[in-house]
Amino acid sequence: MNANTQELHGLGQSLWLDNISREILANGTLARYISQLSVTGLTSNPTIFEKAIGSGSFYDEGIRALKQQGRSGEDLFFALALQDLQQAADLFRPVHDATGGVDGWVSLEVSPLLADDTARTVQAAAKLHAAGARPNLFIKIPGTPAGIPAIEESIFAGVPINVTLLFSREQYLAAAQAYLRGIERRIAAGLDPKVESVASLFVSRWDVAVKDQVALPLRNRLGIAIALRTYKAYRDLLGSARWQKLAKAGAHPQRLLWASTGTKDPAASDTLYVEAFAAPDTINTIPEATLKAFADHGKAGATMPVDGGSAEAVLEEFRRAGVDDNALAKQLQREGAESFSKSWQALLSKIAEKSALLEA
């Protein structure tokens, strides 16, 4: 087992791979990451699947078979994606069972085209989770204004949820409150309160957004400050009387997940966000290149301070430089949803194109 990645596990942090493809399943790469690099879960999104299906011929046979069954469009894609995710979920099942359901998860996102439709998001989440037929399959719902009530309803319905596209403390807290309400409603209804969830905070996009607006000393510091501030809110919530009551009833905490942790600035360390976010009871989902870099030369260092450390002071520096973090958080979430929608459309176009070529 790699010493660097194992060190993070020793601190109580899970390492998940932010990628999936039929290729890494078929050639044993994912199994090797599990056995050698301490990977205990993975996440996917429309952009990841767009790249995977658009590269090579690994999906051709699957597309051909599903097309012959009369499937097309989103229906064909979800069937294709679930084939991958079921295989990955089975690889992570031993971890899932050993941790009592806390770790060992894979994630599948509802259609990004539903980002503003609460009712259809709830329906889609339930349908996808049932179709996946794996206890360690998260359904990803964006933490948008329409997504928040869908998260509550899905948790109440017993569907494990990965809340995606969170960019600030306030957006995280909205998702956390939705999770708490869902669990509280289950307890009131006499249902099992143990429905797992994670809340995914996107980090590196902050630094990309302000790179050309701030002086060099402020570069690559905003995302870390936002994460520190959010981590304080997370620890405060876990210490609250409201949460302690639910924990005593048997609920598991909604864990905080660091997403978008690949370094975008070539002038910065390629392990910047992994080293900065070493913290117990959290997850870091990282791209393959970042995982390999950390395994090679990363160092966990000190754990994140539970009081937020220098977050507020750093954020004040950015405000003096003209950065409105509240407005930017909303902008980043909106742009993130739009980006996934574009990838979704490109993904469906790629599948249609491949289907036509295979038929010909």
Indicate the residue type of 231: Y
Where the chain has pLDDT below 50, the residues are none
Q: Which residues are CB-neighbours of 55 under 8 A, at least 6 positions away?
A: 21, 23
Q: Which residues are CB-neighbours of 296 under 8 A, at least 6 positions away?
A: 4
Looking at the DSSP bridge assignments, the partners of residue 257 are 200, 283
Active-site residue, selected from the candidate residues 67, 140, 232, 350: 140
Query: What is the pLDDT at residue 16?
Result: 98
182 close to 155: Cβ distance less than 8 angstroms: yes
Query: What is the pLDDT at residue 225?
Result: 98
Query: What is the pLDDT at residue 330?
Result: 98
Query: What is the pLDDT at residue 55?
Result: 84
- Structure token pair of residue 163: 């809340």
In angstroms, the CA 281 to CA 99 distance is 13
Query: What is the pLDDT at residue 56?
Result: 83
The full set of domains in the chain, from first to last, is: 3-353 (3.20.20.70)
Query: What is the pLDDT at residue 213?
Result: 94
In angstroms, the CA 281 to CA 255 distance is 6
Nearest to 351 by CA among 23, 60, 56: 60
- pLDDT per residue over 127-161, tens digit each? 999 999 999 999 999 999 999 999 999 999 999 99
Query: What is the pLDDT at residue 359?
Result: 82
Query: What is the pLDDT at residue 31?
Result: 98
Query: What is the pLDDT at residue 358?
Result: 85
161 close to 151: Cβ distance less than 8 angstroms: yes
- Structure token pair of residue 154: 């899905």
Residue 67 a catalytic site member: no
